[in-house]
């Protein structure tokens, strides 16, 4: 889903290794689904860094399905008693494997390096099981971003980025009147769900978001606020072009880049597309949070499975330390468009959008408005997330009423929880 600048990663990791900050020993087999060209090259640089310091890295990439194929392979490996050393895993999936007794903890590494002091509490809790770290986060992606083409906005007479949904709707009407597609969007379930959760945050606020999309509270799911959220999603549906169905997210970003569309609502991996095309934040494209005053968190992480052999257990600890080292966090996130999971990494070399993201992250931690992404597998189990995606996409692609959508969603979530 994300585009990386492999050359930047390579340069950064060369510095990390040559600086001698991390001493690697042991063996790791790493199962992941970063298999596209740039992704594969970038994960290869972590491999090189690990090996350059004396460790042995066995790469196990599995393509397809946003990780679905990798999870199927992982399940088979665990059942056979031969799990990988480290696995790319997210959100509640970490807790589910921990409950099955399948994970090793790296608590000694976390305590030695004081992870609790440098990670946002919401993210730290996702990485832990029964108080101990069983995973290490590599980044923080912000999901609730609006990206815009300043020339398109100017042509429509728009002088500032919208800060409320009412302002967004008014700006969208101006773009429409100017013959510009207001909202670039790809009609795929996860993209529809991304719009939906950003709308829920903007309409209901962080506390309501948590009640509905994290705690799955039936009163919240059936509330007037949820009806209003679907009403706003319906408005957004009216602002996309007729050819949106099945479009990949990066092609929607390209529409904004070319000025064919005014806005895109997408996580900060979209920024990687602008930067890769040589575009400058604040000049060639604009970034602003979607309405709501919160921060929707997405994060990639590696989880450590129960393995046998001292060299493999040592490899897990070394990899955990390397992932959470400030040098790695800086280099990785400069390449990926995200910001470091650690809140103490200096952002001097990061762009204006990343600095805004970091400042808003710290404010959200302080104000308790940092919420985990439902659409990006940080908030609820996969089975429940699937029900959200099904209902939201069905609503987006039909004339279903908001009242009916709310009833269907509440019933579907309840059903998923009972299974």
Residue range 177-204: average pLDDT?
A: 97
Other CB atoms closer than 10 Å to residue 55's CB: what's the count? 22
CA atoms within 13 A of residue 230's CA, in its CB half-sphere: 26
pLDDT at 298 over 80: yes
Q: Quick one: 392 and 350 in the same domain?
A: no
Domain boundary (326, 357, 388) is at 357
- Confirm whether 249 is domain-assigned: yes
Between 184 and 66, the more confident residue is 184
- pLDDT confidence of residue 42: 66
- pLDDT confidence of residue 49: 80
- Confirm whether 1 is domain-assigned: no
Q: Which two tokens stand for residue 166?
A: 């009412």
Residue range 319-341: average pLDDT?
A: 87
- pLDDT confidence of residue 66: 65
- Confirm whether 88 is domain-assigned: yes
- Confirm whether 185 is domain-assigned: yes
Q: Quick one: 352 and 379 in the same domain?
A: no
Question: How many whole angstroms separate alpha carbon 234 and alpha carbon 406?
Answer: 13
Q: Answer whether 298's CB lies under 8 Å from 378's CB.
A: yes
DSSP annotation of 210 reads: I
Other CB atoms closer than 10 Å to residue 340's CB: what's the count? 27
Other CB atoms closer than 10 Å to residue 188's CB: what's the count? 19
What contacts 24+ positions apart, CB below 8 Å, involve 57-60?
A: 57/27, 57/28, 57/29, 57/30, 58/27, 58/28, 58/29, 58/30, 59/29, 59/30, 60/29, 60/30, 60/31, 60/32, 60/84
Q: Quick one: 33 and 60 in the same domain?
A: yes
- pLDDT confidence of residue 84: 96
User: What does residue 97 show for φ and ψ, rounded to 5 degrees?
Assistant: -70, -35
CATH number at residue 75: 3.40.190.10
Question: How many whole angstroms separate alpha carbon 273 and alpha carbon 384?
Answer: 31
From the centroid of its chain, how far is CA 369?
17
Residue range 15-25: average pLDDT?
A: 45
> By mean pLDDT, which of 24-38, 231-245, 391-405 is the weakest?
24-38
pTM assigned to the model: 0.88
- Confirm whether 71 is domain-assigned: yes
What domain range includes position 10? 6-141+299-357
CB under 8 Å to 374, separation ≥6 — which residues?
Answer: 193, 197, 213, 214, 380, 385, 388
- Confirm whether 18 is domain-assigned: yes
Residue range 65-71: average pLDDT?
A: 76
């Amino acid at each position: 889903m994300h585009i990386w600048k492999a050359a930047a990663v390579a340069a950064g990791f060369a510095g990390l290794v040559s600086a001698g900050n991390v001493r690697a020993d042991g063996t790791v087999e790493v199962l992941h689904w970063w298999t596209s060209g740039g992704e594969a090259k970038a994960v290869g640089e972590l491999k090189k860094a690990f090996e350059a310091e004396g460790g042995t890295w066995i790469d196990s990439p599995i393509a397809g399905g946003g990780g679905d194929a990798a999870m199927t392979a992982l399940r088979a490996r665990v059942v056979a008693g031969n799990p990988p050393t480290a696995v790319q895993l997210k959100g509640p999936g970490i807790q589910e494997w921990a409950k099955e007794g399948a994970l090793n903890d790296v608590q000694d590494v976390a305590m030695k390096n004081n992870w609790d002091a440098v990670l946002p509490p919401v993210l730290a809790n996702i990485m832990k099981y029964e108080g101990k770290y069983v995973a290490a986060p590599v980044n923080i992606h912000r999901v609730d971003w609006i990206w815009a083409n300043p020339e398109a906005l100017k042509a429509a007479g728009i002088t500032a980025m919208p800060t409320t949904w009412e302002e967004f709707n008014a700006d969208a009407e101006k773009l429409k009147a100017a013959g510009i597609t207001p909202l670039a969007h790809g009609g795929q379930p996860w993209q529809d769900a991304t719009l939906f959760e950003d709308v829920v945050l903007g309409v209901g606020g962080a506390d309501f978001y948590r009640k509905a999309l994290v705690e799955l509270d039936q009163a919240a799911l059936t509330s007037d606020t949820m009806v209003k959220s679907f009403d706003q999603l319906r408005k957004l549906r009216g602002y996309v072009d007729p050819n949106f169905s099945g479009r990949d997210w990066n092609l929607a970003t390209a529409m904004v880049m070319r000025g064919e569309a005014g806005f895109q609502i997408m996580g900060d991996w979209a920024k990687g597309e602008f930067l890769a095309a040589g575009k400058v934040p604040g000049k060639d494209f604009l970034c602003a949070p979607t309405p709501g005053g919160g921060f929707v968190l997405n994060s990639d992480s590696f989880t450590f499975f129960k393995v046998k052999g001292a060299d493999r257990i040592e490899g897990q600890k070394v990899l955990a330390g390397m992932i959470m080292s400030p040098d790695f966090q800086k280099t990785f996130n400069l390449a990926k468009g995200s910001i470091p999971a650690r809140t103490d990494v200096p952002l001097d070399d990061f762009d204006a959008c990343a600095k805004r993201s970091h400042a808003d992250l710290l404010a959200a931690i302080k104000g308790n408005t940092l919420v985990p992404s439902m659409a990006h597998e940080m908030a609820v189990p996969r089975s429940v997330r699937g029900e959200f995606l099904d209902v939201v996409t069905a609503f987006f692609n039909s004339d279903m009423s908001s009242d009916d959508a709310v009833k269907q969603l509440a019933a579907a979530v309840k059903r998923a929880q009972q299974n």
